[in-house]
Structure 1
Amino acid sequence: MIDVVMYVVLGAALGTVGGLFGIGGGLIAIPVLGVLFGLDQQLAQGTALVMVVPNVLLALWRYHQRNHIEMRHAVPLALAGFVFAWWGSLWAVGLDAQAMRLGFVVFLVALAAYNLARMFMRKAEPSTELRQPWPWLGVLGAGSGALGGVFGVGGAVVATPVLTSVFGTTQVVAQGLSLALAAPSTAVTLATYALHHHVYWAMGIPLAIGGLLSISWGVKLAHATPEKVLRSLFCGYLVLCAVVLAFKV
């Protein structure tokens, strides 16, 4: 019982931080589960997905209530994300755990570098129309879904900044489309990891409960924090996790 309470509290903390950074709990939870609890990379990713999937579905439902998601843009993202997340997760579950962890460290560093570079890029005026033809959304969905399937983080962490920078969407539009991409891709990734016994359900379910209870707090805190401060904190967190995990490879 003590363990369950501890996992719920940890899930609440991870959900708050995930809401603060606007990425859900997966990218936050995986390093924590690997470092503090000693889970191997696949097990950490599969367990984190138990928390991520309901968070994404809840966020998508709430977003749909308040904002309109353009289906002609969401469908190619979601379909490509689903297929490539499935392929990526099938590949990931058969990899060596140490190699997976090293790949995850490289992914964190690359993500931190990209987000840091975006702080100094000139920002074009966002538009209601996509700068790139809609078939390129399928390419974005494929790439984001594959990375989400391999690393268990969902595609939103990759898709959102690309939608705002390359496709020229507003942040609100990007978040809605990213949620439409992440919902099916995270679900199929969790199913794949579960079928290959890479999910610790006794930990994942309490984490999910804690995350659902707290993610809204993080979102409120995010709205009260300047964007540059948030991005700097996010980059710092990614680099810190990469360094700590590197020592465990």
Structure 2
Amino acid sequence: MTLLQFFFDMALGLMLGALGGLFGIGGGLIAIPALGLLFGLDQQLAQGTALVMVVPNVLLALWRYHQRNRIDWRHALLLGVSSFVLAWVGAAVAVGLDAETMRRGFVGFLLALAVWNLTQVFLRSAAGPTELRHPWPWLGVLGGGAGLLGGLFGVGGAVLATPVLTLVFGVSQVVAQGLSLALAAPSTAVALVTYGMHGHVDWLTGIPLAVGGLLSISWGVRLAHALPQHLLRMLFTLFLLLCAGLLGLKA
């Protein structure tokens, strides 16, 4: 790797980290199609490499969200443990799948999430409370399902958990994003280990991405708490559609 390439990767990490902080997803969602388009990585390698950046980004973003909007650690622990268990299963399945099948499945996954999140924009215009609408043990079901899909697609499950927490559990967008990061922290680490053991990680690309992401993710968290919740939810939906479109260009 040349010095120029290192700084290019770090600059990309800066952008992805800011977006990850803004939407509470660690940056992996857009990093995966970006790595496929810019570096020609196949789906599994792009997902594994993105996780090198996502794992530290998620941990830092989780702490920043907690500083600004206190996270109930009882809820966070339940989400984290349940996602951890099933993330192993999803990641183990993912490394054995055909890369093209994975890409198409990921595009469909993003489009479904975008449609679902778009319905929230029109169904719920209020910011939402900080308390759960349903008893907290139900978070274990959400954590398990999100962990399974997070391990499968290498995005930590936060992208699925955020719309469920706002629509089903009735919390605000920023509270949902903070809890989603708590869910994503263990499952992304599990997924990274699994992808790495199967040779689906480009460490030379992933490390400068991680450095850039750590430098910028706090900016995104600050902006997330400054924006109106309705606008933040709409931007999140557009972000999902952008990621699906970028990944579709690789067809």
Deviation at 1:240, TM superposition (A): 3.5
CA RMSD of aligned residues (A): 2.2
- Find the aligned partners of 2:22 and 2:76 in 1 and give their Cα distance: 24
- Find the aligned partners of 2:234 and 2:131 in 1 and give their Cα distance: 29
Aligned pairs (5 A) from 1:50-61: 50-61=52-63
Deviation at 1:76, TM superposition (A): 2.2
- Find the aligned partners of 1:247 and 1:125 in 2 and give their Cα distance: 35
- The one-letter amino acid paired with 2:40 is G
The match for 2:92 among 81, 90, 93 is 90
Given the alignment of the two structures, is residue 163 of structure 1 paired with residue 150 of structure 2, yes or no?
Answer: no
Aligned pairs (5 A) from 1:127-206: 127-206=129-208
Aligned residue for 2:122, secondary structure, equals coil
Aligned pairs (5 A) from 1:27-106: 27-65=29-67, 67-106=69-108
Query: What's the % identity of the aligned pairs?
Result: 69
TM-score by length of 1: 0.90
- The one-letter amino acid paired with 2:179 is L
- The one-letter amino acid paired with 1:199 is V
Residues 1:60 and 1:19: Cα distance change in structure 2 (over 3 Å): closer
- The one-letter amino acid paired with 2:192 is L
- Find the aligned partners of 1:218 and 1:62 in 2 and give their Cα distance: 10
- The one-letter amino acid paired with 2:25 is I
Deviation at 1:230, TM superposition (A): 4.0
- Find the aligned partners of 2:132 and 2:208 in 1 and give their Cα distance: 40
CA contact under 8 A between 2:173 and 2:232: conserved in structure 1? no
What count of residue pairs does the alignment treat as equivalent?
A: 249
Residues 1:78 and 1:219: Cα distance change in structure 2 (over 3 Å): closer
- Find the aligned partners of 2:127 and 2:58 in 1 and give their Cα distance: 28
CA contact under 8 A between 1:13 and 1:214: conserved in structure 2? yes
Structure 2, unaligned stretches of length 5 or more?
A: none
- The one-letter amino acid paired with 1:17 is L
- The one-letter amino acid paired with 1:200 is D
- The one-letter amino acid paired with 1:211 is G
- Find the aligned partners of 1:243 and 1:172 in 2 and give their Cα distance: 25
Residues 1:4 and 1:125: Cα distance change in structure 2 (over 3 Å): closer
- Find the aligned partners of 2:115 and 2:47 in 1 and give their Cα distance: 22
CA contact under 8 A between 1:69 and 1:177: conserved in structure 2? yes
- The one-letter amino acid paired with 1:186 is T
2:116 maps to what in 1?
A: 114
TM-score by length of 2: 0.89
Residues 1:95 and 1:227: Cα distance change in structure 2 (over 3 Å): same
- The one-letter amino acid paired with 2:181 is L
- Find the aligned partners of 2:205 and 2:47 in 1 and give their Cα distance: 12
Deviates more, 1:235-244 or 1:159-168: 235-244
CA contact under 8 A between 1:108 and 1:238: conserved in structure 2? yes
- Find the aligned partners of 1:229 and 1:133 in 2 and give their Cα distance: 28
* 1:56-75 superposed Cα distances (whole Å, 9 cap, x missing partner): 11122334455543333222
Deviation at 1:139, TM superposition (A): 0.7
CA contact under 8 A between 2:26 and 2:61: conserved in structure 1? no
Deviates more, 1:103-112 or 1:56-65: 56-65
* 1:164-185 superposed Cα distances (whole Å, 9 cap, x missing partner): 2211234444333222211111
- Find the aligned partners of 2:215 and 2:153 in 1 and give their Cα distance: 25
Aligned pairs (5 A) from 1:213-232: 213-232=215-234
Deviation at 1:161, TM superposition (A): 2.1
CA contact under 8 A between 1:26 and 1:153: conserved in structure 2? yes
